[in-house]
Amino acid sequence: MTRKAMLLSGALGMCLAAQARAQETVDVQDSPAEQPDLQSAPADTPQAATAATAGQTGSPSFQAPSNTALPPSPMASEDPDQVQFTADRIDYDYEKDIVTATGDVRLYRRSDRLRADNVVWNRNTGQVTAQGNIVVINPEGDAAYGDRIELTDTLKDGVVENMLVVLDAGGRVAAERGRRDNGVITVEKAAYTPCAVTDMAGCPKEPSWKITAERVVYDPTIGRIRYTGARVSMFGLLSLPLPSFSHPVGGSSDDGFLAPDLRISRTNGFQFALPYFFSLAPNRDLTVTPRVFTGALPMLQAEYRALTDIGSYRVTGYGTYSRRADDLTVPLTDETSRNDFRGYIDAVGRFQLDTNWSASASIRTASDRTFLRRYDISRDDRLRNNLRVERIDQDSYFSINAWAVQTLRVGERQGAQPIALPEIDYRRRMDDGILGGRLQFQLNTLAIARTDGQDSQRAFASAQWDMRRLTPWGQEVTLTAYGRADAYNTHDTLETVESYRGLEGFQFRGIGALALDVKWPLIGAAFGGTQRLTPRVQIVASPKTNNMDVPNEDARAVDLEDSNLFALNRFSGYDRFDDSTRVTVGLDYALYLPGISVDANIGQSYRLSSQDSILPDGTGLSDRTSDIVGRTVVRFRDFVSLTHRYRLDKDDLAIRRNEVDATVGSRSTYVQVGYLRLDRNIGLILEDLQDREEARLGARVQLTRFWSASGSILIDLTDSKEDILSQADGYDPVRHRLGVAYEDDCLRLGLTWRRDYQTTGDARRGNSFLLALAFKNLGR
């Protein structure tokens, strides 16, 4: 008989009584043309993992029957409790009141759906028995496959043999036998995996990991799977037993243990950490991590996270007891030899108060200078704390910013570290053109205090006017006028370096500058592409400024680079101003070819005024003629990126700065090389500008689809040529690491070896090993 379909919108018994007689077959009407076609069981998608066998003879299979099809969405009905169905053929036994449907049978009730080759409905008992290529879908979207299933006539409850459940949230549960009661699925002799179980060619493969159990219960209302007598295995190898175990499915979260952290280091010995996750609310959670060491007392770590209507914040804390004298920064006494509390707090948050106003905070503080390095938490040598409130709109900016610094450098005084309470900054840009240009105002005030050092307060008001024009010959001309009035109040000036201190008491200063900047871009064809050559000339005139009468708090790190060659003020902050009349010339070049780009610039500055410069020796700006600086960037598609920055001595073209950063490769396999050499001959009194030389090398290789290897090394090449106080021989490794990792759609496994060559306090040099393991749906 050709395939027919029948839709019953009324009671099934009434329809059959009107159209059939006992033991006689009945042809039924064609289904509506707009009824959607049924699709095969989906491939590896968030709704269903790719089907495959479990890989063990006699074990439950993760493979869905190839000829099953998922029923479409329920069709419209006046009474949602009525059971609707379609079939190729229907037989009805009047005496036994049994309905038999064969040939692509599909039943619907509310959001419950069933498809099978054969369905027998006993209307007396309300039992529905389906056989052959069965697929059942519940309202949550989970699909159950089986060879034989017994259901109630509500299509909600039943028993399935050789069952496979494809979870809508991702993952599969396979079992020899299972049942569903009120939507809760219970299976025996079962296995669960969220992993893909076919390879790229579509052939079955063993999942990366799975859980086998004597009994599994899945409640879709809470989205959680519970196991009895479970074991977790990776790549088909039996692993850890899990006698009583449960976990959520999909993107939901719940209380429970996360993946452990295993490390070995010379400082702390073997380390084992087992985080426990508390899901306090959909927008709040807490993770508590006890850490146990063989070479140190245990440590407790806790992290609290919260998401609010206007922002988010995170607070992380560490705490332990150990000897403070171990960090070698305090003398060994009876008091310091006793165990004392050591810890670290790291808190960060950001809140968008409204369209324009926002607030942010970052709090970082440690109990001592080597705690972070000893426990491998961070390698920062200074901790910056910051509280900020900002308002930003189209034409103005306002901020109140408070910050403090904790030094972790051995030998550096904490009392000399600045505390800003506060810094207030306001800027406004005028929309209306004034004299054909754009005017911007700025108000700024800053108060810096130290517990054992120089204190200073600063306030200034400034205005800057810029006018930009294009000439008929294509030159870009920019005229700038700048004026500023400063007021300073300084105390305890003798506590700081002479070059950075100011005069005691109140000091006032006026600053002014005029600048003319001309660029002339010339564009043409070259080598089958486009090139651009841009000569540039800038003239800046600024009268002498009383720079040395005020303290230098924010402009200490000064160095001539390609980024500040044409800046109006080549100092990094506000406390010093480049008061000179100078001419700066430069040349920019760009070449754009198919897949290749080259950007380069070079320039030099000439000071016309004969007054002595306040710029330190070695910065490249202390003489009337500056050093030559430049930058070259070469890119080839997304495969090669090379950046070279340099500074050449004006007298003999000796290299004073040589910096190279290169990346070659794809996103998965690449090599990164970095080199820096600063040979500027800066005096020892300016500790912010010390010379150094270092080399960096890193690489990652994608060995296979899922396996990769990576490594890196950092070498200090500084010797007495760069730093006269250095006792190194010019080759001093700092640290290197080597690792191998496996990562697929549901498992991440990695092993890393790292060696540190430097000892800082109680953070000793030596080897460290880190094992990382994470499972999808199990704390990843």
3-state SS track over 27-64: CCCCCCCCCCCCEECCCCECCECCCECCCCCCCCCECC
Report the alpha-carbon distance of residue 243 to residue 137 in Å, rounded: 30
Mind listing the pLDDT tens digit for each residue in 616-626?
A: 777 888 889 99
Residue 328 has pLDDT above 60, yes or no: no
For residue 238, the model assigns a pLDDT of 65
Report the alpha-carbon distance of residue 324 to residue 174 in Å, rounded: 56
| Dihedral sign (CA 705, 170, 174, 211) | positive
Give mean pLDDT, residues 536-541: 97
For residue 36, the model assigns a pLDDT of 28
Residue 187 has pLDDT above 70, yes or no: yes
Its pTM stands at: 0.75
Residue 260 structure tokens: 């452990």
What's the burial of 494, exposed, middle or buried (CB within 10 Å: 0-12/13-18/19+)? exposed
Confidence band for 779, pLDDT divided at 50, 70 and 90: low
Least confidently predicted of 246-255, 285-294, 469-478, 714-723: 246-255
Residue 148 has pLDDT above 50, yes or no: yes
CATH of span 12-252: 2.60.450.10
| Phi and psi torsions of 517, nearest 5° | -125, 125
Indicate the SS3 state at residue 408: coil
For residue 145, the model assigns a pLDDT of 83
For residue 764, the model assigns a pLDDT of 67
Closest of 146, 143, 120, 150 to residue 134, by C-alpha: 146
Residue corresponding to tokens 């005069």 = 503
Residue 656 structure tokens: 């004073």
Report the alpha-carbon distance of residue 135 to residue 89 in Å, rounded: 19
> Interior CA angle at 318 toward 710 and 265, to 5°?
40
Q: How many CB atoms lie within 10 A of CB 1?
A: 9
Give mean pLDDT, residues 159-182: 79
Residue 218 has pLDDT above 80, yes or no: yes
Q: Percentage of the chain surpassing pLDDT 90?
A: 41
What's the burial of 622, exposed, middle or buried (CB within 10 Å: 0-12/13-18/19+)? middle
* Distant-in-sequence, close-in-space partners of 196: CB < 8 Å, separation ≥ 6: 44, 49, 50, 207, 744, 745, 746
Question: If you count them, how many residues does the chain have?
Answer: 780
Mind listing the pLDDT tens digit for each residue in 90-127?
A: 898 888 889 899 988 888 877 778 888 998 988 888 88
According to DSSP, residue 548 is labeled: G
Cβ atoms of 87 and 102 closer than 8 Å: yes
Least confidently predicted of 80-89, 567-576, 655-664: 80-89
According to DSSP, residue 763 is labeled: B
Mind listing the pLDDT tens digit for each residue in 408-429?
A: 887 788 888 999 988 999 999 9
* Distant-in-sequence, close-in-space partners of 704: CB < 8 Å, separation ≥ 6: none
Whether a cis peptide bond, with omega within 30° of 0, leads into 422 is yes
Give mean pLDDT, residues 352-371: 94
Give mean pLDDT, residues 482-504: 89
Residue 435 has pLDDT above 90, yes or no: no
